[in-house]
A and B are shown apart, each in its own frame.
Chain A
Amino acid sequence: MSLLAVEDLSVEFRTRRGVARVLDRVSLGIERGQTLGVVGESGCGKSVTALAMLRLIASPPGRITGGRVHFDGRDLLALSEDEMRQVRGNRVSMIFQEPMTSLNPAYTVGDQIAESVRLHQGLTRREAIERAAQMLDAVSIPDPARRVHEYPHQFSGGMRQRVMIAMALACQPDLLVADEPTTALDVTVQAQIFDLISELREKTGTAVMLITHDMGAVAEMTDRVAVMYAGHVVESAAVADVLREPLHPYTRGLIACAPGARTVAPGQLLDEIPGTVPSLVERGAGCLFAERCAHVQPRCRAELPPHSEPAPGRTVMCWLHTQ
């Protein structure tokens, strides 16, 4: 049984211009110890998927309108709020894009790491601070015994992301969700953080869901990949298969603009694939990628393509591959 299986997850946001369907029947899965890359342009719904899985969507304006999130045999969407809190930060933890603002400026990093451990593992304050120091050591922060008593503003951006990782892994979760963990960091630091995540994953056996816009990072880090576009998973498969033979035209575009580099800026993708992401409020009947697609057929504009399975363990959502 998969560790995580998201099935037909749908999320809507109320906006001034109407209701935006931000996720439309998203399905993806992660096996124990595996790494899944979720890749796509900004606004494609990849972060919302992660937040919705943990039921962290602000409501209002957001709302989960359907689907299931099976985690370790339970549907997270059916849990009570209390049960859900025992999953967050304990079985599934998360790190975010902005290390500069993701830590509370009013508390020491030790307190913030210890808070998780005390909550989920019932350690005493002293034990928890000790664990926090061990975790800082594990994420290669020098002089952890001293730095555990320092405040976030005394750390650089890369160091803060290390603290976030330490915090996320302190309870030895089954799944780590990393939402664009390196986007806000310098190029050299990005590589260090990726290396750290890989290293810790091997050591602890934690499964990782890596959310990124960077195909290069996916190629290097992950076992499987799910490509998202405008709230849909348009293709999912083993990374090697996708790199060898991308099926969806959008995936092809993504790979074409990331020639082995992990340093593509977010805006650059948009330049390479013509056109922009369509409005999620006024969805047409057809494929949402049709306007930007080089292989567009009349059918694409009329009807949304189904998810087909051209090979075992591989799905794609495109009329080119339905036969």
Chain B
Amino acid sequence: MQRTLVTVLRRLALAVGLVLAVLAVNFTLIHAAPGDPALVIAGEMGGADEATMATIRKTYGLDRPLHEQFFTYLGKSVRGDLGTSYTYNRPVIDLILGRLGPTVLLVLTALLCAIVIGTGLGVLASRRPDSFGSGVVTVFSLVGYAMPVFWTGILLVILFGKVWPVMPIAGMRDVRAFGAGPWQAALDVAHHLVLPAATLAIVYLAQYSRLSRASMLEVLGSDYIRTARAKGLSDAVVTFKHALRNALMPIVTIAGLQFGNLISGAVLVETVFSWPGLGTLALDAILGRDYPTLLGVLTFSAILVIVANLITDLSYRWIDPRLRGR
């Protein structure tokens, strides 16, 4: 028990270190970019006048030596001060927190669908590795991977915008749903979520079905599966209790490793469906040369990935007892 606690604390320390490293990367970017760092911080088209620039130089200590600047920046960031968006005239942190929810909702829904359905398909395919259905899963996984995610999204927009208009193709809420009860509001968001989440899920669905098929095939050939069958357990128990849990390992690994890619995909999907998340915020920030907001989004999405990795790491210990106490 104590060893588990120590491991968890160690993992947490590493995660905090990574967050600091991400901030260091941000700092480097601000100073490595061509031009005046103050301008970068202000954002070029934010309409920063001389007075604002002077304030920025002073708050960030831009006249001081570089290492002092670094610690000033670090100190401010750690306290949650990621600067001010001069485009919106609001603290960056407020902007980001307002957009974090929709992105997390989108990403988690897609990931959950991809893992559950993908793994399910892979398991089905692994039970008859040479069957037609198994071949379909293989083809589907190749096709799903090769489709550019924004193109998939656009095809869905065309399909549901023109041919079969049963799904909303943009935004997260319907104006008509404002002022409705909480259940109706949730239902409205869910309705808007279908297409973006499906778009994002398809890519990963393809990969997980393929991965879980391979992983299940390997596990099903192992000695302890033979033991389980020799005990008289039914096919379902052998597959889902004895095989699946061991086959989950590579799936969880990839899910953790790919969380960053998932967020990258979300940027594109949000753009296609005008989903009000971090991705659209980042794109708006780019169009408005609003660098503090852009860097803030980068920092926060990195934190999301770090948290996801932490969860992955801890779930290993649940799946494979051999890793406990390491």
Chain A residue with the shortest CB-CB distance to B321:
A151
A105 partner, pick from B130, B230, B233, B246, beta carbons under 8 A: B246
Which residue of A is nearest B246, CB measured? A106
In the complex, the answer to whether B229 meets A164 with C-beta atoms within 8 Å is: no
Contact in complex: A101, B222 (CB < 8 Å): yes
Q: Flag the segment in A114-122, A129-137, A227-235 that touches B.
A: A114-122
Q: Which of A38-46, A92-100, A215-223, A290-298 contacts B (4 or more CB under 8 A)?
A: A92-100
Q: Is the interface of B mostly helix, strand, loop or mixed?
A: helix
**Do A153 and B231 form a contact, CB below 8 Å, given A101-B224, A105-B224?**
no
Which of B130, B230, B232, B242 is close to A104, meaning CB atoms less than 8 Å apart?
B242
CA A306 – CA B86 in complex, angstroms? Answer: 97
* A15 in contact (CB, < 8 A): no
- Complex Cα distance, B134 from A77, in Å, reads 29
Whole-angstrom CA separation of A167 from B231 in the bound complex: 9
Give the contacts of A105-148 with B (CB-CB under 8 A).
105-106, 108, 115-116, 119-120
Contacts of B8 in A (CB 8 A): none
Is there contact, CB below 8 Å, between A115 and B233?
Answer: yes
Cα A50 to Cα B232 with chains together (Å): 15
Task: Report Cα–Cα, A299/B50, bound state, in Å.
Answer: 110
B224, B230, B234 interface centre (most CB from chain A within 10 Å): B230
The complex places the Cα of A108 from the Cα of B222 at a distance, in Å, of: 18
Q: How many Å lie between the Cα of A176 and that of B102 in the bound state?
A: 59
Asked if A87 is at the interface of the complex by the 8 Å CB criterion, the answer is yes
Are the C-beta atoms of B231 and A119 separated by less than 8 Å? yes
Residue of A with least CB distance to B221: A58
Q: Which residues of A contact B319 (CB under 8 A)?
A: 106
A contacts with B, residue count (CB < 8 A):
28
Contact, CB under 8 Å: A102 / B223: yes
Is the pair B226, A85 in contact by a Cβ cutoff of 8 Å?
no
Within 8 A of A (CB), among B220-255: 222-224, 226-234, 242, 245-246
B232 and A85: CB pair below 8 A? yes
Closest chain-A Cβ to B220's Cβ sits at a distance in Å of 9
Bound together, the chains give a CA A213 to CA B232 distance in angstroms of: 27
A98 to B226, CA, bound (A): 11
For B229, the chain A residues whose CB sits under 8 A away are 56, 88
Q: A56-B226, A102-B224, A102-B226 given as contacts; is B322 within 8 A of A89 (CB)?
A: no
Would you call B232 and A94 a contact (CB within 8 A)? Answer: no
A94 to B228, CA, bound (A): 10
Chain B's closest residue to A108 (CB) is B321
- B68 in the interface (beta carbon within 8 A): no
C-alpha gap A60/B128 in the complex (Å):
10
- Given A151-B322, A153-B321, A153-B322, A103-B231 contact (CB < 8 Å): no
* A86 adjacent to B232 (CB under 8 Å): yes
Cβ of A104 and Cβ of B246 under 8 Å apart? yes
Min Cβ gap B223→A in Å is 4
Nearest-CB distance from A139 to chain B (Å)? 16
In the bound assembly, the distance between CA atoms of A88 and B246 in angstroms comes to 23
B322 near A54: Cβ-Cβ < 8 Å: no
Q: What per-residue 1/0 map shows which CB atoms of A194-238 lie under 8 Å from chain B?
A: 000000000000000000000000000000000000000000000
Task: Return 15 A-B CB contacts under 8 Å, by A number.
Answer: A54-B230, A56-B230, A85-B233, A87-B232, A88-B230, A88-B232, A89-B230, A89-B231, A89-B233, A94-B227, A102-B227, A105-B321, A120-B232, A153-B321, A167-B227
Binding site for B on A (CB under 8 A): 54, 56, 60, 85-90, 93-94, 96, 98, 101-106, 108, 115-116, 119-120, 151, 153, 164, 167
Further 15 A-B residue pairs, CB within 8 A, beyond A85-B233, A94-B227, A105-B322: A56-B230, A86-B232, A88-B231, A93-B230, A96-B226, A101-B223, A102-B226, A102-B227, A106-B321, A108-B321, A115-B233, A119-B231, A119-B232, A153-B321, A167-B227
